[in-house]
Structures are given as structure tokens and as C-alpha cells.
Chain A
Amino acid sequence: MDIFDFLVHGFAVALQPQHLLLALIGCTIGTLIGALPGLGPVNGVALLIPLAFNFGLAPTAALILLVSVYYGCMYGGRISSIVLNIPGDEPAMMTTLDGFPMARAGRGGEALGLSAVASFVGATVATIGLTLFAPLLVTVAIRFGPAEYFALFVLAFATIGGVTTGSFTKSFIAASLGLLLGTVGIDPVSGVARYTFGWYELYDGIDYIVALVGLFAVSECLLFLERDRDKADAAMRIGSAVPGMRRSLDCAPTIGRGSVIGFISGVLPGAGASLGSFLSYVLEKRWWGAKGKFGEGDPRGVAAPEAGNNAAAGGALIPMLSLGIPGSGTTAILLALLLSMNITPGPLLFEQQPDMVWGLVAALFIGNVMLLVLNIPLVGFFAKVLQAPSWFLMPMVTLVAFVGIYSLNNSAFDLYMMLAFGVLGYGLRKLEIPTVPVVLGLLLGGQMEFNLRRAMSISGGDWSILVNSGISIGIYLFAGTLLLAGLMYALLLKRRLG
């Protein structure tokens, strides 16, 4: 079967009424969460994971729900950027630069309409890319042995500095901390209890979901308590979204360039959506030079980053699905969900569960159209919800996550664990130590160690097996290059700023 047949089959899965309904729910909730300032896609998806579990959904259905939330969040992030000048999430930061000036000039509706189309094109380009390239990557990855997989994990951690905007040292500290936390529990190979200190609750290791919700959602709640409590501005005239859609025709080249750049930065390990939107904005600004009015409400300044960040969001799914190595924070959380459902993404997933993979890809196409259709009439409604008081929104969001975590195992221990991770996440964020690498370490540590040990038992304890194949050497070289490039970039940035 070739890709086209698979895709047709995928649409048959995705068009089942239950899956369609879930995609619709996911897109709506996602847009809302993405639009809420501070609750980005990472936190949003983390919050909803306990709910997805509790619905008792089959893995395919749960994945469709959460991926729709993910795409929805990327769409929603722009709404508060444009209306409130507060980016709903990190990648939407660039959209504030021209979006808010447009809204202040009474062209908010136009900006929202234009960015909806740009987001749609970006996400669709990325989903097409996913359809074409993920199977290609799979045909390479299927030949990977344990040594090559170990190299791949090294690559993921070597490039981790790029996932986050913080310092290199701190990113690597976070990753090692995560890897160390990942070793807690009974060692599956030897049966030795590691770092459990007699607590039988820890024998199964640290539950990813509990750690995730703590690190992201609880710490977000704590951070919120020290921010300004009332930022809601007076209602602004939004205006119609229709002129923006017409405007998108003029911006077609901008949207096209943004989509391609965003897609590439999404696929690269460790780059992600923030880089995608940043690069497409900066490049577009350079392209037009003095002819553009970037920073003062140029429509192209809204179209470029929105196409870029949505394309990156789709691109980031490629390494997650085909290699099991997430390229961004949110895909890390999706990976956590899959792992807790006993599904290991990677080349074998494409062979063993084509229904799930292709159903998901088809659901992404459908979700995109839904988002575009939803966004045009509902933009005013979403902008209204943003003005609901935080004393209601935050407790609601916190308690839904809290009860959700409790009902996973009916265990109060999980709740204490979640609070402890919340405090840890809060501390790390205050210290500007990124939390995403901690999660990646926690998630991938087990697999990384397992592959190392399998490779070593194949070689009988000879460490040279790790660099014994062309593929692994190639991966290490690639990792080294990306690491160096990242370091150079950080140094350059420092020199510019300092």
C-alpha cells in the first residue's frame, strides 16, 4: 500500500462520528486554552490528559482528542496576542508585535481573520509534510538497533538547548535531573529497587502524568498568584474577520514562506514552534526591509509568525511519531500520554498500528478545516471568554486537573507527588531552569538506558559497539554539529545583547 491508500484508510478512521466529535471538542477546548494568557499548549495538553484518561477513551480516540487540543492551542495562542497584547503561549509572542497595533487601530477582526487563514495554511502544509516524510523516516528507522537508538537519544539531549530559550548549562542540568528522576523505581532488568527509600508507591517509578501536571499546571497556578490579578482591559472593538480573509490573498507569498520555514524548524530536534515563528517573522521583515511597516501593524507581520508556528507544531509531530523522540514540549506530553497507554511510538507503530497513525494524520487534516471554520464566527466569543475573571478560571482549571489526577489511581499519594512536582517546577521556572528537558529526561530515560544495556549485552560489555555502525556515527556527528551551532548561536546572541 502506498501513502495515498493509507491516508484514505486514515480518513475512514477519523470520520467515525465519535472521532469527529472528539476532534471538534478538542479544537474548541484547545482554542480556548491557547487563548488564555499563560496557559500555553504545554500546560493545556497537560491539564487535559487526566480528563482524556477518565473518559475511558481508546488510544486512537484519546490521541485524536489531544492532538486536536494541541492544534487548537496553536490557533488560540494568537487571539490574546492580538486582542490583549499578552501572548497566549510562547510561540505566539511574535504575533503581538504587529497584531496588537492592528487591533488598536480597530483592525483586530482583520488581524484575527488573516491569522486564522495563515494558521490554517501553515498547519496544512505541515500536515502534508508529515504525511510524506514520516513514512520515509520510518523506513530508515526500522533498521535501527539498540546502539543506533541510544545515539538517537544522545542526539535528542544534545540538541535540548534549542528547545528552550534559557542558558545551555541550565538546559542540560534540567535534562540530567530528568534522566536521574527517570531511574527511580524498580529496575526492569535486574529487579533492584532504585532510589525508592522503602516507599512502595515509588516502585513503579514516577508517574509521568503526575509529574507533568505538577511541573506545568501546578507551577503555573503558583506563578499566577504573584502576577497582576486584574489585567482585563476595556472591551475593544474587534470588527469583522472577513476583510482579513481577503487580505490573506495579498499575503499568500508571506504565508507560504512562513509555512516552509516553520515546518523545517519543527522537524529539527530541539527547535520547535517558537523558533519557527521567530525565524519566519525575522526573515519576512528582512525581505521587505523599509517597504514594510513591521512593528506598527503590518498584516504580513501577523501572517508570517502564525504560519510559522502552526507549521512548526505539525512538523514537531514527525520525530515524535516516527522515532519516539519529541521535538517540542507539547509533543513530549503527547509522548507521555502514549507511553502511559503502553504504546511506544516509533517505526514499529507505523507497522503495527497503521489505523492509529493514519487516523491521526487524517484527523489533523479534518481538525484544521474545523479550526478555520470555528474561528471565523467564534472569534468574538473567544475574545469574550478571555475577559472572564481569573478568580474563577484558575481555580476551575486547577481543580479539574487535581480531581483528574486523583481519579487516575484513586490515590492521595499521587496528589502529594503532584504538589511536590509543582513546587519543583515553580522553583525551576524562577531559577530560569527550563522544565521541558526535565520531562524529556523523565520520559526518555527508561528507553535510553534500556537500549544502552541491550547494546552492551549484545556486545558482551564492549563499549565500542556504540560507535560501530555508520548510522550511529552519522547521528553523533549530526548531534555534534547541532550542539556546536546552538552554542555559536547562544554566544552570538549574548554578544549582541551584552
Chain B
Amino acid sequence: MSDDAETSHAALGDRIAGAVLALLALGAWWHAQSFVTGFMQPVGPGVFPQLVSVPLGLLAVYLIARPGLNQRWPDAAALCRQLGVLLLLGTYAAFLEPCGFIPSTLVATVVLMRLFGAHWRQALPYGLLLGLALYALFEFALGIPLPDMPGLKV
């Protein structure tokens, strides 16, 4: 890949970000007009958000016009791992309460270690160990009640 291709690619990232931020600023400015100013308030709830969205919008437009440098974006394999981690953590958050802390955490630690490049032989024992250590740390050392397994009353 030539240098030129990389810079133009970088500029594209900044341009997209600039467009998104400009829209965000415009939306925030417009939405702030609907905030009702109370009685005897020289500066209502909408003024400060509007004050802030003006420089945000202007700078975002400037970024579209004169984009700067970006870091290299990840390749497909790295992107898959990143999406995998996000998906795993999101699912873990969703299952934490309905399934209880221990089962969901044990699954999460093992899979997370796999995603960080551990072999099954390493991920299984160390993942289980880490999960139980986390439980011990929060439940006993810190005294924080964590969600129990359903149907299990202490």
C-alpha cells in the first residue's frame, strides 16, 4: 500500500467524524431551543448547550475541510476480535442478573481469555480461577452482594 492511499484513507476518517459531529452539534442546537426557560432566569437551560454546540459545529466543519492524521484502522481479524469482545461483554451484562454472577462470569472469563489469544488449555483453568477470584473479591473481601443464581437462596 502506498503512502498516498493511507493518507487519503486517514482523511476520510476525519471527514466522516467531522460530518457526524457537525450533525450532532446542529441537532443539539436545534433541540436546545425546545428547553423552556423558567421565570426570572436570565440564562435558561438551553443557552449553555447552544453556546457549546456553536464551536463544536464550526470546528467539525473545519475538520471536514482540513482533515488531519488518523491512526491505522484495524484489519479484519482484529476487528472481529474487537467485535467479539464487545458482543461478549454486552451479552455478559445482559445475563448477569437473570443467570446469576457465577455462571455468567465463568463463561465470560473463559471466552474473554480465548479472545485475547489463550489456548483452551490455558483459558479453561485460568478463566475458572479468575471468575472465582472475582467472586471472592467482591462478595467476601469487599462485601458487595452480587446477583445469585436463580433458585438458589442463601
Contacts and interface: CB of A to CB of B under 8 A. Distances in A.
Contact of A54 (B71, B78, B144): B144
Interface string A426-438: 1101111100000
Contacts of B94: 412
B2 interface: no
B93 A190 contact: no
Contacts of A2: none
B116 A390 contact: yes
Given A391-B113, A392-B126, A403-B134, A180 B49 contact: yes
A453 interface: yes
A419 B41 contact: no
Contact of B41 (A180, A189, A398): A189
A170 B96 CA distance: 38
B130 A225 contact: no
A255 to B, nearest CB: 35
A395 interface: yes
Interface string B38-64: 101111110011001101100110110
Contact of A402 (B66, B89, B116): B89
A53 to B, nearest CB: 10
B143 interface: yes
Interface string B13-49: 1100100010011001001100111101111110011
Contacts of A389: 118, 122
A399 B82 contact: no
Interface in B65-112: 66, 68-71, 73-75, 78-79, 81-82, 85-86, 89-90, 92-94, 96-97, 105, 108-109, 112
Contacts of B78: 225-226
A192 B53 contact: no
A173 B117 contact: no
Given A169-B68, A390-B116, A412-B97, A225 B82 contact: yes
A55 interface: yes
A423 B85 CA distance: 11
B38 A183 contact: no
B97 A392 contact: no
Contacts of B36: 190, 192
A171 B38 CA distance: 34
A399 B44 contact: no
B44 to A, nearest CB: 7
Given A190-B37, A194-B32, A395-B116, A173 B45 contact: no
A172 interface: yes
A177 interface: yes
A396 interface: yes
Contacts of B81: 225-226
B149 interface: no
A419 B116 CA distance: 18
Contact of A453 (B13, B17, B41, B86): B41
A431 B14 contact: yes
Interface residues of B, number: 72
Contact of B134 (A176, A226, A399): A399
A161 B60 CA distance: 16
B63 A170 contact: yes
A431 B55 contact: no
B126 to A, nearest CB: 6
B142 interface: yes
Contacts of B31: 195
Contact of B112 (A226, A399, A423, A427): A399
A190 B45 contact: yes
B69 A432 contact: yes
B115 interface: yes
Interface stretch (A293-301, A370-378, A454-462): A454-462
A192 B35 contact: yes
A55 B142 contact: yes
A167 interface: yes
A407 interface: yes
A4 to B, nearest CB: 38
Given A194-B35, A221-B85, A169 B115 contact: no
A452 interface: yes
Contacts of B69: 432
A406 interface: yes
Contacts of B60: 173
Contacts of B92: 402
Given A416-B90, A452-B43, A456-B42, A173 B130 contact: no
B74 A226 contact: yes
For B24, B48, B118, the residue with the greatest tally of chain A CB atoms inside 10 Å of its CB is B48
B126 A229 contact: no
Contact of A407 (B68, B122, B138): B138
For B52, B60, B71, B118, the residue with the greatest tally of chain A CB atoms inside 10 Å of its CB is B52
A355 to B, nearest CB: 25
A449 B48 contact: yes
Contact of A461 (B42, B48, B146): B42
Contacts of B43: 452-453, 456-457, 461
Interface of A: 51, 54-56, 167, 169-170, 172-173, 176-177, 179-180, 183, 187, 189-192, 194-195, 218, 221-222, 224-226, 229, 389-392, 394-396, 398-400, 402-403, 406-407, 410, 412, 415-416, 419, 422-423, 426-427, 429-433, 445, 448-449, 452-453, 456-457, 459-461
Given A176-B55, A222-B82, A431-B17, 11 more contacts: A51-B142, A177-B21, A190-B44, A391-B116, A399-B112, A399-B130, A423-B86, A430-B73, A445-B52, A456-B43, A457-B41
Interface of B: 13-14, 17, 21, 24-25, 28, 31-32, 35-38, 40-45, 48-49, 52-53, 55-56, 59-60, 62-63, 66, 68-71, 73-75, 78-79, 81-82, 85-86, 89-90, 92-94, 96-97, 105, 108-109, 112-113, 115-118, 122-123, 126-127, 130, 134, 137-138, 142-144, 146-147
CB-CB nearest 8 A-B residue pairs = A461-B42, A226-B78, A176-B56, A391-B118, A415-B93, A187-B45, A391-B116, A226-B74
